Structure 1
């Protein structure tokens, strides 16, 4: 459901001030507000919705021709994002003045090809991803790229856009991330674990590794079976009663998970490592590296192109 957005120039100033004071609306950015409604959304979901509403507000506020790009376009396309962007990215035909809003990043020129999402002009999907790879921190770029490829985006088209730009800035890391990408990563957190492994100089894992067990076929998020390592990422929501419907029983889910792990361990001799968001970058890195044999750890070298995620 789309939130109702109020643009200041379209409403009476005193009524907006009163609504803001009584808490029925909240400010999105200068000159734009939205109706405030109770929400049970997780923090990341709420931040994403707010970022989308800010983009919609800017679209209504801008009078000149414009196209949303970079991570703003990625959000509009519904792409997988590691974090919600702090600024709004637009392409336009004119140079911004000194009084331009500080929460908007303006670039020129307008793209040759323009798509629309919900009647909002955006760069096409391949160009959006290419722009993000060149400008985002590498972890953010990898998360976005893995998700886009998993949703059917043609890697070749992204490469074409990366190479088409005249400026060299960001091209090397974009190429590197394209080589590192894997559409088998089914969530941002699986991309995160892969990124940590690449940063540490560990071997590349196989995603969605099939494991035949006495209880049936299972797929493990990430596997390095040659080195005796399997890894799975668990979202906290699976441990909450009712998270997937009124009948969902978290205790039953934990028990089924244990039976699954037991079956995988019996079949492979390896018990899966389990990661959650609470591990954080440092703990997750230590846990992952420690699981590998000593010779692999000693041979590993930090990848200078992939900074440690803060």
Structure 2
């Protein structure tokens, strides 16, 4: 039908034309009343966002995780709904694939990506910090600091101070205070979140380790305590070739030759978060670990 990822709206097509296309399997449903030519891959977050804006009109401003994806940020999970801010409350039946947010977005808190109006990096991160699980918000904030036009944390903090919102402020402030551009993946953010939630001191991301060969970096490090952490995800090995795995072995051997033995953790296996916390805590001096207290404002990862 179309070579580009053009969104087709039911309201713009003759009923019989759409019916024939659906019966023939020539279109994919993006959302109710919006379709994509079947020759394309499954609808993306951007496809669903574009379809919604075409149906709502140009006054809609995309926000939260939707805006984060469009900005180029990583997310903890692929968003299941499209977030949109509108200046008036919805009436009638809610759409299950849309998260509506009532309010306004000033011009200086907006930007545009691929013709779609979205919230700025600062407004996006703040909205996520106020409304999402703090781990999900931290993943986005970490990633936003790595954008070509990176998140300005001071601007986001100022926006939080000026926000009339009462709920979620403590967690939002925590997210902004702990965002770190050094996280290379959502799982590295997960490991840092788990440690911080357990009351450990703030670690350094991409912590340097000087070896006889060169300076390597561990995912997290508490140099003053001699504690270092590496997150080992299954995908790390599933996508690595033999040569890359060999280089990783040499790297780890060189680090251990300095007397440093990083804790290698995963998010799987019995015990989950508790197991990871126990393994990392055990590397700290007893007098330090005795002072660790769980931050009750931070829920367990979901």
Q: TM-score, normalised by structure 1?
A: 0.85
What whole-Å deviation, never above 9, does each CA across 1:234-282 have from its counterpart, x for those lacking one?
4544534xx5xxxxx7112111111110100111x222333456x2794
Aligned residues: 293
Match of 2:89 in 1: 95
Match of 2:183 in 1: 185
Residue aligned with 1:150, SS: coil
Residue aligned with 2:61, SS: strand
Query: Which deviates the most, 281-290 or 25-34?
Result: 281-290
Contact in 1 for aligned 2:209/2:218 (Cα 8 Å): yes
The gaps in structure 1 that reach 5 residues or longer are 40-45, 244-248
Residues 63/117 of structure 1: CA separation in 2 closer, same or farther (3 Å cut): same
- Cα distance, 1:226 vs structure 2: 3.6
**2: distance between equivalents of 1:20 and 1:236?**
39
Match of 1:287 in 2: 276
Q: CA RMSD in A?
A: 2.5
Query: Which deviates the most, 298-307 or 106-115?
Result: 106-115
Alignment of 1:14-163 (within 5 A): 14-37=16-39, 50-63=44-57, 65-113=59-107, 114-151=110-147, 152-163=150-161
**2: distance between equivalents of 1:149 and 1:12?**
46
Contact in 2 for aligned 1:91/1:107 (Cα 8 Å): yes
Residue aligned with 1:28, SS: strand
**2: distance between equivalents of 1:201 and 1:303?**
6
**2: distance between equivalents of 1:212 and 1:2?**
50
**2: distance between equivalents of 1:159 and 1:107?**
21
- Cα distance, 1:297 vs structure 2: 4.2
Greater per-residue helix proportion = 1
- Cα distance, 1:309 vs structure 2: 0.7
The yes-or-no answer on 1:262 pairing with 2:232 is: no
Match of 2:264 in 1: 274
Q: TM-score, normalised by structure 2?
A: 0.87
**2: distance between equivalents of 1:299 and 1:202?**
9
What whole-Å deviation, never above 9, does each CA across 1:122-181 have from its counterpart, x for those lacking one?
122211111111111110111111111233221101111111111212212111112222
The gaps in structure 2 that reach 5 residues or longer are none
